[in-house]
Structures are given as structure tokens and as C-alpha cells.
């Protein structure tokens, strides 16, 4: 149900196996050119300048283009042009499989349509964000995905209220968060009462009625289950951003995070009580 890499989808549907995916990835590595190589081939950088940026890159975790701008070797417009060119000419996994004879081109087109339809859930619409959070694309993605995933994973209907800046959050017993860092950062905290958390954790763990009842008093298990849902929510939001070339990383869930200088969204849920707290990082 989650957002997928096209290769996963192809294996799931028995179209190719993992050896064929590995061979295709190897071909992509060989053929897809780095930003430095493209800049050099286009005569925008000399070999010495590209080597200088590469050497500097070994000491810091900054993308080639950004570093070249910082070093005064490329302009922001040149980097934007190179990134666009790199994206347009990039060999993708489906084309690599066609080139290797693992897949016919007509079949690839059919499968791409099928894949896009299956992944329609992850097309993000317009989301109304409070002032101060409006430029955070991750927050917009999380707010768009939260109702879709809550209903699919745990059959919980939800309407997301208007967000507002808040230095604290309601006193609900299960308070779990995950932190996403990188090109855009966000602490995503879901708060719930026992009833909401039980339904969500139970669905995440696939618990039946009897085991669900036993889990009612187990706050650690409820927190773990809500944390796992947050992993899925954050992971899928990261996948949406990754398709826009925005790179992020996910840390394991944390209980009872510090909530200050963030934004509170009331959630009208079909089961129990819940709220969402988002804090830019």
C-alpha cells in the first residue's frame, strides 16, 4: 500500500527478479553522469575545477552544485540548468531493464500506467498551512497524507483542523514523534487518547480482538504502534519529496518529545481523541 520504488512494484508483480534489478541499477550507475562530469562536458567547469570541488566534497556533506556555487565556480542558474539536464537525461530503472532485454518497451509503458494509478494516493493536493509553516513542503505532504493513511491503515476517519502556532499540545496520554531531517526538517508528533491509540496500534500490529483487549493497558505497546504508524506516514511523505529531488532522513520514533515553538492541528477523528503537532527543525 505504501509509496514504492518502481523496482519493488515490478518484483511484486513477478515481472522481473532482484538479480535483474541489480543489473539494471549497475547499468544506471555506469551511464548516469554526475553533475561535475556534466559541467565538465559542457565546458562550464575545467577538469581541475571539478576535481577541486570533488576534493572539497570529501570533507563536507554538501551537494556538488551547492559547493561549486559557494566556491565561486558556478552560478546558481548554471547549477539549476545542470540539474534539469541531469534529470531529463537520466537513465531510469524501467528503461535500463528494457535495454537489458528484461522487459519489452510496450510492456514497460503499460506497467508505468498501472504503477502511477496504484500510487495515485501519493499525489499531493493543495494544503492550507498556517503562517510560518507555509514554505515547509514536508508539512504540507504530511497533512495531505495523514487522513488517507489513517483510514487505509486503521479505518479511522479524520478531518484535519486549521493549524495554529502553539507552545504546547493537549494533555493526551500517548504522545509519539518522529524527526525528519535533511533538505527540509520536521518533528511530526501524533497525540492520542487510549481509544484512538489502541485502534491505531492494533491495526498496525494486526492484533485480533482478544489481543487488542490485552494491549489496552500496555502504554509501551500503544506508543510503539503509534510510532510505527508515524514511521509509515513520515516514510511515505519522504518518498513524495524524494520524487521532487528533496533528500531527507528519518530517525527512529521517540516518546514524549519536547513540544514548543510548533504548530498544533486539531484532528476530528472517528475513534477517540487525537491531535497533530508539527515543529520545523
Partner 1 sequence: MSGKKLSVLLVDDSRTVLLHLEKAIAASEEADLVGTARNGAEAIQKASELNPDLVIMDIVMPKMDGLAALRMLQAKQPEIRVVMLSSVGGTAPAAEEAFRLGALQVLSKPVDEEILAALLSQERERLASQSGS
Is residue 257 part of the contact set for partner 1 (CB under 8 A)? Answer: no
Q: Which residue in 21, 79, 133, 177 binds partner 1 (CB under 8 A)?
A: 21
Is 207 a residue that touches partner 1 (CB under 8 A)?
yes
- Of 137, 197, 228, 267, the residue at the interface with partner 1 (CB under 8 A) is 228
Q: Which of 12, 70, 128, 134 binds partner 1 (CB under 8 A)?
A: 12
Give whole-number Cα distances, 116 to 90, 110, 185, 248, in Å: 19, 10, 27, 23
Radius of gyration (C-alpha) of the chain in whole angstroms: 22
Closest to partner 1 by CB, 13 or 261: 13
**Which region, judged by CB under 8 A, interacts with partner 1, from 137-145, 160-168, 200-208, 265-273?**
200-208
Task: Considering the complex, state which of residue 49 and residue 242 has its C-beta at the smaller distance from partner 1.
Answer: 242
Distance CA 104, CA 34 (A): 28
Residue closer to partner 1, measured from CB, 170 or 272: 272
Examine residue 129 and tell whether it contacts partner 1 (CB under 8 A): no
- The pair phi, psi for residue 37, each rounded to 5°, is -65, -40
Please state the closest distance from residue 78 (CB atom) to partner 1, in A.
Answer: 25
CA separation, residue 25 to residues 6, 7, 96, 145 (Å): 12, 10, 8, 30
Answer whether 34's CB lies under 8 Å from 65's CB: no
User: What are the start-end ranges of the H helices in the chain?
Assistant: 6-12, 18-31, 35-41, 47-57, 64-70, 76-89, 93-99, 105-118, 137-154, 194-205, 209-215, 219-242
Binder of partner 1 out of 18, 88, 126, 210 (CB under 8 A): 18
Q: Which is nearer to partner 1, 64 or 263 (CB)?
A: 64
Which residues sit at the interface with partner 1, rule CB under 8 A? Answer: 1-5, 7-8, 11-12, 18, 21-22, 25, 122, 153, 201, 204-207, 211, 220-221, 224-225, 227-228, 231-232, 234-236, 238-240, 242, 247-248, 250-252
Amino acid at each position: 500500500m505504501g509509496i514504492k520504488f518502481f523496482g519493488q512494484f515490478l518484483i511484486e508483480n513477478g515481472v522481473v527478479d532482484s538479480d535483474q534489478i541489480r543489473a539494471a541499477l549497475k547499468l544506471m550507475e555506469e551511464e548516469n553522469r554526475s553533475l561535475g562530469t556534466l559541467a565538465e562536458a559542457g565546458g562550464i567547469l575545467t577538469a581541475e575545477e571539478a576535481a577541486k570541488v570533488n576534493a572539497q566534497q570529501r570533507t563536507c556533506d554538501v551537494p556538488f552544485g551547492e559547493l561549486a556555487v559557494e566556491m565561486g565556480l558556478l552560478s546558481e542558474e548554471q547549477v539549476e540548468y545542470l540539474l534539469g539536464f541531469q534529470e531529463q537525461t537520466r537513465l531510469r530503472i524501467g528503461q535500463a531493464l528494457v535495454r537489458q532485454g528484461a522487459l519489452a518497451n510496450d510492456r514497460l509503458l503499460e506497467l508505468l500506467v498501472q504503477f502511477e494509478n496504484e500510487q495515485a494516493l501519493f499525489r499531493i493536493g493543495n494544503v492550507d498551512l498556517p503562517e510560518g509553516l507555509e514554505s515547509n513542503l514536508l508539512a504540507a505532504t504530511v497533512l495531505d497524507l495523514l487522513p488517507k493513511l489513517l483510514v487505509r491503515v486503521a479505518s479511522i476517519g479524520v478531518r484535519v483542523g486549521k493549524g495554529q502556532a502553539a507552545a504546547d499540545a493537549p494533555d493526551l496520554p500517548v504522545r509519539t514523534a518522529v524527526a525528519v531531517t535533511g533538505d527540509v526538517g520536521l518533528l511530526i508528533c501524533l497525540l492520542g487518547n487510549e481509544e484512538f491509540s489502541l485502534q491505531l496500534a492494533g491495526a498496525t500490529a494486526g492484533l485480533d480482538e482478544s489481543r487488542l483487549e490485552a494491549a489496552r493497558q500496555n502504554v509501551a505497546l500503544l506508543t510503539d504502534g503509534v510510532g510505527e504508524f508515524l514511521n509509515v506516514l513520515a516514510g511515505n511523505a519522504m518518498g513524495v519529496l524524494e520524487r521532487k529531488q528533496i533528500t531527507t532522513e528519518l530517525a527512529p520514533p521517540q516518546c514524549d518529545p519536547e513540544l514548543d515553538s510548533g504548530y498544533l492541528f486539531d484532528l476530528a477523528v472517528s475513534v477517540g481523541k487525537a491531535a497533530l503537532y508539527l515543529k520545523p527543525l
